[in-house]
Amino acid sequence: MSDDATAAAPEALQVALDLEQLPGGARSAVEAVLMVIDEPVTEEEVAQALELPVEDVGALLDELAKEYADSARGFVLRRLGGGWRIYTRPEYAPVVERFLLGGQQARLTQAALETLAVIAYRQPVSRARIGAIRGVNVDGVVRTLLARGMVTEVGHEPTAGAVLYGTTDLFLQRMGLDSLDDLPALAPYLPSAEVLEELAAEGLA
């Protein structure tokens, strides 16, 4: 072991001993971190900050998540977008929305939801392609989604140079997804092969 590692070891041990001496120990220390974060935090980040094994932090987070869910608190602890964060319990979303917005409409419009769905399933996708799929001009809707942080620019088309859009981590959080792999399959909602053939024959597909 190097001299630097030897010097660092007592300091790390002291942090661990301090956690043990706190009223709630490591468990409450993890809770304290969760209460001050604005973005989801990974198990590795918490473990590094508290000088704890990642496996222990993961177990504590699972324990806290179960406790919050079982005790019908107004909040839940969830792992979304690759990180952990405390969220309002879904049943209380209308209450929080009313408090924060004074009754103002905060939900996305139908047009915004449809545009967001196209981006989520076809990303990276250009604004022109989104408009072609929806059959309407989507410039204003895309600007709204950008402003709300649900989508972001992810690159440019190699040939035309058009901006390509994709969803953000905030989208995953709001949709309750851990990754894009968790998006519902589209197949059950698509027309059957027979219907598509009929539409093609009529020039509508």
Q: If you write DSSP's letter for every residue of 70-101 in order, what string do you get?
A: HTT-SEEEEEETTEEEEEE-GGGHHHHHHHHH
Measured in whole angstroms, the distance separating CA 195 from the mean position of its chain's CA atoms is: 36
Which has more confidence, 147 or 11?
147
Kindly state the helix (H) or strand (E) to which residue 151 belongs, with its residue range: strand 151-156
Where on the phi/psi map is residue 102: left (φ > 0), alpha (ψ -120 to 50), or beta?
left
pLDDT in tens, 109-124: 888 888 999 999 999 9
DSSP 41: B
pLDDT in tens, 169-198: 888 888 888 888 888 877 565 555 554 455
For residue 124, is the peptide bond before it cis, meaning its omega torsion is within 30 degrees of 0? yes
Residue 51's beta-bridge partner residues? none
How far is 119 from 110, CA to CA, in rounded Å? 14
> What band does 46 get if pLDDT is binned at 50, 70 and 90?
very high
State how far the alpha carbon of 169 is from the alpha carbons of 2, 100, 163, 165, in Å: 40, 22, 19, 13
> What band does 159 get if pLDDT is binned at 50, 70 and 90?
confident
Return the structure tokens found at 112: 């915004």
How big is the chain by its Cα radius of gyration, in Å?
23
Which has more confidence, 4 or 97?
97
- Of the chain, the percentage scoring pLDDT greater than 90 comes to 27
Please check whether residue 87 is in contact with residue 42, taking contact to mean a CB–CB distance below 8 angstroms.
no
**Hey, what domains does the chain have and what are their CATH numbers?**
3-92 (1.10.10.10), 110-201 (1.10.10.10)
Specify the pTM: 0.49
